[in-house]
Amino acid sequence: MKIVYRGRATRRRNTPPELEGDVLELLVDNWDDYGFKTSFPTVCRISGNVVELGMIRLLIDGVHTSKEHLDKLLSQGWSGEFPIPETDYISTPSEITFYEQLMGVLPDSEVIEVAQRLRDASYLVQVLGDEKAIAMTKSKGFENSLQRERGSQKAYLDVSRVLERKATAVLDLGFKFNDVCGNISTLNLKFQAGNPLPHDVNALIGPNGVGKSRVLHQVVEDWLAPSKSDALGFTTRPNLSQIVVVSYSPFEQFPVDLQGRRLKDQDAYRYYGFRGRQPSPDTAPAGRIRLSHAVPKKNAASALIECLSHDKRYRPISGWTLKMMTMESVLRSAFEFDYAAVNIAPNRRAKSFYREDTPFGDMFLETGEGEERKLFIPIQSSMVEYLDDEKLRERVLLAEGVTFFRDKHPLQLSSGQRLFAYVVINILGAIRRNSLILVDEPELFLHPTLEIQFVDMLKKILVRFNSKALLATHSEVTVREIPADCVHVFEKTAEGLAIKRPPFQTFGGDVQRISSYVFGDSQSSKPFERWIEEQLEDTSGKKLIEALGDQINEELIVQIKAMERRR
């Protein structure tokens, strides 16, 4: 495959390479990373098909603006074909999927040749031990530009492993944080399993006021702006591609987006909750952040189209898990439906959202009449290759959210089912390989049955996308689904904050035992115990049991007899 630079400027919709055959072309972009301009969007065609690879950053030794050097070579007669003549340079892609996609459509030997001609920093340093490349990775240009974005950092860590067909996994993570006692504590997250139990989810649990959510906030802030001090933040650079936050507490204050932060990789951080930024004119400052029940609906509609788009784009990647199929499988464990759909303006032609060779009959659904008429476009796994995700993204009515249909009729979901569906779709739309999902108190928006299904859903999605999750919770039901070495119990003591792991196995364990250990229930008086105590002031345990008749359970009988013996 040819790799070329022709000096073409990037556009909103870039045309394929002008050269015939298999071609990867680098386009011009003026993004500035602290004085370095190294970004090049790409267009690629392989076997007649356009492959959307994303951006690559190219650093030339001793040069701040890579484009100027390449343009000078073109003016001197260079054909534009890589490798660049008489030039020391290295590169990193904006995402690790850059090479994963190529490996899905080209022989491994050709992909490695692409990496060598682009002088991929990961491959040159970690596989070939190239001395010039090693020296360039210690430069300001590498740190400030090629490693400024999280996706590029992940690519530098793991592209060499991808090219050698080795698995890339999120490793155990250490995180130092300011705790509620005014000290610096260290949280050691266990993601690498030493036994068959699932280690994809870690949980922080403890009573109110011990700082569980505080830790999640500090993880986010360190991810967005890494601490300059070794005393705080991740103990080693995490091999993560992004962080996704799910928090439906009305009181939380996680950043809702990356506006105001000088990052080009806007997907390195994603937030889902009730808070969102209000739209504003292009010429106005960023809109105000407000609390609204409409935010989850909009996010879900956008994320469903994102799932469709990712399945179309990344399908060639070996081992890629189809997001639409995963969404359908997970949500059908909570409620029965035939397909999900998004709402578009009723004056649009439904057929325009599909390829002309679509083998389906009725490709749209209508409800209501007159001003109440609504037009829906079904989005399901069997339709992925026929739907136009770009047109849907432009025309979808986001405020209408996602509607689920059964036998061509819209389903009326409970509030819990609807929010569960939105969370599943949002996570799937956002997740990419090696993500970390932070979930703040899922029990606030899910009843116990859906809590269990939520954790089960997380495990299914995480393992398929080689990702991990960290939950802050009060729920013993949630902890029962997680191994003890992944459970971190927060407790205030006279010496400060203690972070403990249960001395017994929590996975599949007894909820009461977990509750007693975490919250000290065995040491605290409960209202029903006080009621029994008051009754025993006036009667015997035997008479109280007889008086309750069939309104008593076995546990209460044992409690009454035990309390009477203590008296």
Which residue, of 112, 131, 163, is where some domain finishes?
163
Residues 412/418/420/423 CA torsion (nearest 10 deg): 140
In a domain, 26, yes or no: yes
Do 355 and 319 belong to one domain? yes
For range 475-501, the mean pLDDT: 94
Q: Residue 173, by phi and psi: left (phi above 0), alpha (psi -120 to 50) or beta?
A: beta
In a domain, 520, yes or no: no
More confident site: 355 or 199? 199
Do 159 and 177 belong to one domain? no
For range 345-359, the mean pLDDT: 81
Do 458 and 398 belong to one domain? no
* pLDDT at residue 396 is higher than 90: yes
Range with lowest mean pLDDT among 216-220, 443-447, 460-464: 443-447
Domain CATH for 491: 3.40.50
Look at residue 415 in the predicted model and tell me its pLDDT.
85
Backbone angles phi, psi at 530, to 5 degrees: -65, -35
* pLDDT at residue 50 is higher than 80: yes
Look at residue 67 in the predicted model and tell me its pLDDT.
96
For range 220-238, the mean pLDDT: 88
Residues 241/105/16/156 CA torsion (nearest 10 deg): 30
What's this model's pTM, rounded to 2 decimal places? 0.81
Q: Pairing between strand 409-410 and 233-234?
A: unpaired
Looking at residue 550, the DSSP 8-state letter turns out to be G
Range with lowest mean pLDDT among 206-215, 280-289, 296-305, 421-430: 280-289
pLDDT band at 221 (very low <50, low <70, confident <90, very high): very high
Look at residue 548 in the predicted model and tell me its pLDDT.
86
pLDDT band at 229 (very low <50, low <70, confident <90, very high): confident
Cis before residue 196, ω within 30 degrees of 0?
A: no
Q: What is the DSSP string of 366-405?
A: EESSGGG-EEEEEE-GGGGGGB-HHHHHHHB-GGG-EEEE
Do 335 and 403 belong to one domain? yes
Per-residue pLDDT tens for 123-151?
Answer: 999 999 999 999 999 999 999 999 988 88
**8 Å CB contact between 39 and 55:** yes
Alpha carbon separation from 118 to 82, 92, 439 (Å, rounded)? 7, 9, 39
In a domain, 168, yes or no: no
Do 256 and 379 belong to one domain? no
Domain that residue 553 falls in: 527-566
For range 5-34, the mean pLDDT: 90
Q: What SS3 class is residue 233?
A: strand
Domain count, the chain: 4
- Give me the residue label for tokens 């698995």: 167
* pLDDT at residue 318 is higher than 80: no
Q: In this structure, how many other beta carbons lie within 10 angstroms of the beta carbon of residue 18?
A: 11
For range 204-232, the mean pLDDT: 91
* pLDDT at residue 487 is higher than 80: yes
Do 298 and 185 belong to one domain? no
Do 505 and 481 belong to one domain? yes
More confident site: 448 or 21? 21
pLDDT band at 525 (very low <50, low <70, confident <90, very high): low
* pLDDT at residue 555 is higher than 90: no
Range with lowest mean pLDDT among 174-178, 485-489, 554-558: 554-558
Look at residue 250 in the predicted model and tell me its pLDDT.
80
* pLDDT at residue 523 is higher than 70: no
Look at residue 508 in the predicted model and tell me its pLDDT.
93
Q: What is the DSSP string of 330-370?
A: HHTTTS--SEEEEEE-TTS-GGGGB-TT---S---EEESSG
Do 457 and 560 belong to one domain? no
Q: What is the DSSP string of 435-503?
A: EEEEEE-GGGTS-HHHHHHHHHHHHHHHHHTT-EEEEEE--HHHHTTS-GGGEEEEEEETTEEEEE--S
Which residue, of 402, 423, 444, is where some domain finishes?
423
In a domain, 428, yes or no: no
* pLDDT at residue 197 is higher than 70: yes
In a domain, 516, yes or no: no
Do 20 and 148 belong to one domain? yes
In a domain, 287, yes or no: no
Per-residue pLDDT tens for 245-301?
Answer: 999 888 888 999 888 777 777 788 999 999 988 765 554 456 788 888 889 999 999
Per-residue pLDDT tens for 319-329?
Answer: 788 999 999 99
Token digits of residue 507? 């996975």
Per-residue pLDDT tens for 408-417?
Answer: 899 999 888 8
Rounded CA separation 2/431 (Å): 32
Do 409 and 473 belong to one domain? no
In a domain, 121, yes or no: yes
Q: What is the mean pLDDT of the chain?
A: 89
Look at residue 281 in the predicted model and tell me its pLDDT.
56
For range 426-436, the mean pLDDT: 92
Look at residue 283 in the predicted model and tell me its pLDDT.
47
For range 513-518, the mean pLDDT: 88
Do 51 and 140 belong to one domain? yes
For range 175-193, the mean pLDDT: 94
Range with lowest mean pLDDT among 190-199, 376-385, 516-525: 516-525
Look at residue 150 in the predicted model and tell me its pLDDT.
85
Look at residue 178 in the predicted model and tell me its pLDDT.
96
Alpha carbon separation from 529 to 114, 233, 417, 423, 521 (Å, rounded)? 72, 45, 35, 39, 12
Look at residue 285 in the predicted model and tell me its pLDDT.
52
Do 10 and 158 belong to one domain? yes
In a domain, 201, yes or no: yes
